[in-house]
Each structure stands twice: as structure tokens, then as C-alpha cells.
Amino acid sequence: MAMRPRKWIERKTRARALRHWEALADHAGTLGPGRLRGLREEALALRARLDRFLLRADRRVARSRAALDALHLPGGTDWRWRPGFMTGQISPRGVAGPESGGKLGDAAAVWHDCPERALILEQLDNAGATDLAPFGIRLEVFGFAGNFLSLSIDLPVSALAGLTRSHVLRLETGVLAERALNVYARLNIGHGPNIDEVTLQLRSFEPGQPGQQVTEFDLAYTEMNEKRLEKIWLDLIFESPRMNAVEIRELFFSRHLRAEF
């Protein structure tokens, strides 16, 4: 591949500027007041330009992701949704040693029976070229002494509007595991006093291999009462999660009517 001198010089210039500002930050405590004021004004001007670049770049990336989202949906899709913790930054961005039922954002909760609570749940920035969601979630598990671990995601009320047993709920996932891991997806639909459950096993995830896959829940196999729908949520269940780290880079829900024959 032919080298492009201009781009190489630009990269070297930016790298040199970065090292220069890092050195200034390290020695800020030794600088005189006058020099410090001048450098601070330069830094503010630089930050304003960087913020402007990031704003425009984020808009461009968001448009690209939105265009890609529309490519993979089946015909007749009448609802789509991605959890808020995957579309925008949340606060706080992480929870260490969460209690069972502890939440990250409004829609995600971790459930477990580990007495030491040897877990960390945090939001991460998706930076991969194939990542469609701006953010993801990382679940880090240490000396897990419990018997179960799951991540629960509440779906919005809009998922229930017009929902029938003729629908197929589609789940697109992107998961990266540090060690081999089995993951199960359980869809829960509350109707009146009853809860219908459909559990499917996701493909086993191998270390360092991003697992992109689509799982479809055919609601014809449930006995849900379409007139009494109250709540819908998904549980991601992790089997033998001890000493592992799982990054969930995509959770994209949609629904479409089943083709009738």
C-alpha cells in the first residue's frame, strides 16, 4: 500500500500536540501564574474546537447508525426499540457490588444471589466500526459464589400496544465475552395475574469473538391474554459466569407479524 505523506504528517502533528499538552498537564503545578493563565486560554480555545468536531462527528455517526439499523428489519415491522442506556449516556455510569435488583439507568437491573456481590456493572462507549449502538454495557464477574446471575431489561409500554399472538418479537444481540459463556434469553409477558415465559438459548460465546445474532420469540407459543397485557421484559441469564467479563454491545428489539400460510 502506498504511503500518503500528508496524512502521515498530520497524524504525527496531532500526536506531538497531544504529548505536549500531556506534559503541560503534568507540570501545571510548577508553572508561573502568567504562563498558566495564557496556557489556560489556549486550552479553552482548543477545547471549544474539539467539542465542535466531536459534536459534528457524533451526528455523522448517528446518521450512519440509523441508516444501518433500517437495513436488517423484516417487512411488516411495526415497532422497534433500543434501551436508553445504549442510546445515551447515563449517570451514574457504573455500579460496583450491586445488590440483587440494583439498577443501571432506568431499564436495566442485575439479579443474583452472590453473597459477596463480586460484580461490576457499567456503561461503556461502543467504538467498534460495526457497532450500531453508541453505548453498551459491561458486566464484570469475579469470585462468583452464587447460583444465578441475570440482567433484566424492561421494555417500554409501546411494546404492548397492539401486541398479539400473531406477532414475532425479534431480538438482535451483540455480545463479547472474555471466556466461553452460555447465555439464555427469557422473554416475560405479564397479563393480568399471569406471566408467560419463552426461553431461548443464544449461541455460545467464545473468548474474544463478537457474537452477533438474531433471536425470534414467536408469541403463538404463549397463552397471553391480549386484552390484559401489563408488562413485558427480557432476562439475559448467564450460566457459570465466575471470573468472566461480558460486553453487551447491542440489544435491538423489533416486532413483526408472522407470515400466515
Question: Using CA atoms, how far apart are residues 102 and 165, in angstroms rounded to an integer?
Answer: 32
At residue 69 the predicted structure's pLDDT band, cuts being 50, 70 and 90, is low
What are the distances in angstroms from CA 231 to CA 60, 85, 153, 167, 190?
Answer: 35, 19, 11, 16, 5
What are the structural domains of the chain?
Answer: 5-69 (no CATH), 77-257 (2.60.120.260)
When pLDDT is averaged across residues 77-88 and rounded to a whole number, the result is 90
Q: What pLDDT score does 159 carry? A: 95
| Mean per-residue pLDDT over the chain, rounded | 85
Q: What pLDDT score does 208 carry? A: 63
Q: Can you tell me which residue has the cell 507540570?
A: 27
Question: Using CA atoms, how far apart are residues 119 and 100, in angstroms rounded to an integer?
Answer: 11
Q: Cα-Cα-Cα-Cα dihedral of 197, 207, 240, 97, to 10°?
A: -90
- Tens of pLDDT, residue by residue over 220-238, are 999 999 999 999 999 999 9
Q: What pLDDT score does 236 carry? A: 95
pLDDT above 90 (res 130): no
Question: Using CA atoms, how far apart are residues 198 and 201, in angstroms rounded to an integer?
Answer: 10
**137: which 3 cell numbers?**
454495557
Q: Which of 184, 189, 218 is closest to 199 using CA atoms?
A: 184
Q: Which is higher by pLDDT, 174 or 61?
A: 174
For the question of whether the overall pTM of this predicted structure is more than 0.85, the answer is no
- Is the Cβ–Cβ distance between 198 and 217 less than 8 Å? yes
Q: What pLDDT score does 44 carry? A: 87
Question: Using CA atoms, how far apart are residues 256 and 261, in angstroms rounded to an integer?
Answer: 15
Q: Output b/e per residue, 35-62; b: 16+ Cβ within 10 A.
A: eeeeeeeeeeeeeeeeeeeeeeeeeeee
* DSSP state string for 163-214: --TTEEEEEEEEEEESS-BEEEEEEEEEETTEEEEEEEEPPPBPBT--EEEE
pLDDT above 60 (res 24): yes
When pLDDT is averaged across residues 4-19 and rounded to a whole number, the result is 78
| Peptide bond before residue 33 is cis, with ω within 30 degrees of 0 | no
- Is the Cβ–Cβ distance between 175 and 248 less than 8 Å? yes
Provide, rounded to the nearest whole percent, the portion of the chain with pLDDT above 70. Answer: 87
When pLDDT is averaged across residues 157-170 and rounded to a whole number, the result is 95
Q: What pLDDT score does 73 carry? A: 80
pLDDT above 60 (res 188): yes
